[in-house]
Amino acid sequence: MNALVATNRNFKLASRLLGLDSKLEKSLLIPFREIKVECTIPKDDGTLASYVGFRVQHDNARGPMKGGIRYHPEVDPDEVNALAQLMTWKTAVANIPYGGAKGGIGCNPSELSVSELERLTRVFTQKIHDLIGTHTDVPAPDMGTGPQTMAWILDEYSKFHGYSPAVVTGKPIDLGGSLGREAATGRGVLYATEAVLNEYGKNVSGHRFVIQGFGNVGSWAAQLISERGGKVIAVSDVTGAIKNNNGLDIPSLLKHSKEHKGVKGFHGGDSIDPKSILVEDCDVLLPAALGGVINRENANEIKAKFIIEAANHPTDPEADEILKKKGVVILPDIYANSGGVTVSYFEWVQNIQGFMWDEEKVNNELKKYMTRGFKDVKEMCKTHECDLRMGAFTLAVNRVARATVLRGWEA
């Protein structure tokens, strides 16, 4: 099932639990605006190349829209729509004053030189500069983009609107980026994991963790979990998978992964089939890679008691049902991986105030937001007698619906 169908399904279930009327339900689903632009640039060899850039702005009832910009060859409009909608619910669960958006350019960044990427980013910004803004829509990095991309957008946007550091987040520290932003999603995953384990009278220390994906989120989560005494027994990425039942030495693995561009060949563990990573015996499973990896084919084999969705949409609805029957506790993506967007919000706040925080303040505030977020989700679970996913969705949809009605926007 694709991400859009699953997101719509969760929204409809939440809407029914809340008793929203059909007109309001419809207006909450329809995106505010979808933008598609042609970006033509001279390549380094002097030839011209055209790329399609796009931005889906889903909802702005609670504040400016917020979401990543990805550079990827296969950009599926349905997926972008789903991710824009997911950002609306994610910012609402986190209780930060944003709506959702998502965008990008259909290109393969690995085939473009740095100067070609810069030209492409600047042309894209020229095309959308009057549709984004500090109080309108605030982009951030995503697949294939990073702090340097945000620096180019900031510079190009500022040519039209004056210096505006708060127009994008995920910037380099030297241009108003926030300390703690790089680790934020992984750190948020740690705080979310602590919150759910506390609920069951457990803590991170001594528990066995398996992490699928060792990019930014997976590697930070692994590092922070092992610092808290958790045992990370297996990890996988695109290069392969490794396992050590006594716990992997995470600092050494991080060093190896950096030097060899992946976990493959790490001597502190045995190589295993990456396909088996999700069904390894463990207490807590963290899918931190792609969507749709937990499905009806493998759900019955999963041995973890807790699944923390560090990736977007890793669990199919069919797998959800199977796991629920098995008594597996799933912490949904719209809460579990919201640490990144929460610290993006802190970055935006610091830029608007022109006053930067130290890293300790960023991390303390993040912990406050994640802990409070879990309490809010649990409250909704009690009210509507539902699981954590529906608890998070009802919380989000309720917040957005209330803002929509208060602003007089309901049809």
Query: CA geometry: angle at 336 spanning 334 and 337, to 5°?
Result: 75
Query: CA geometry: angle at 93 spanning 91 and 97, to 5°?
Result: 40
For residue 67, give both structure tokens.
């979401």
Which residues are documented as binding site for substrate? Answer: 66, 90, 344
Which residues are documented as binding site? Answer: 66, 90, 185, 216, 344
Number of C-beta neighbours around residue 358 at 10 A: 10
270: CB partners within 8 A, 6+ apart: 242, 243, 244
H/E element, 330: strand 329-331
User: Which DSSP letter does residue 357 get?
Assistant: P
Backbone phi and psi for residue 242, each to the nearest 5 degrees, phi listed first = -135, 155
In whole angstroms, how large is the CA radius of gyration of the chain? 21
> Which has the closest alpha carbon to 225: 209, 248, 201?
209
HEC readout, 153-208: HHHHHHHHHCCCHHHCCCCCHHHCCCCCCCCHHHHHHHHHHHHHHHHCCCCCCCCE
Task: Give CA–CA dist 285/301, Å, rounded.
Answer: 13
Q: What phi-psi label fits residue 76: left (phi over 0), alpha (psi between -120 and 50 degrees) or beta?
A: beta
Task: Give CA–CA dist 223/42, Å, rounded.
Answer: 42
Which residues are documented as binding site for NAD(+)? Answer: 185, 216
Catalytic residue among 12, 36, 102, 159: 102
40: CB partners within 8 A, 6+ apart: 48, 49, 50, 51, 123
The yes-or-no answer on residue 261 being catalytic is no
Are 303 and 282 in contact by the 8 Å Cβ rule? The answer is: yes
Could you tell me what percentage of the chain is helix, strand and coil, using 3-state DSSP and rounding each to the nearest 5?
50, 20, 35
For residue 27, give both structure tokens.
């207006």
Catalytic residues: 102
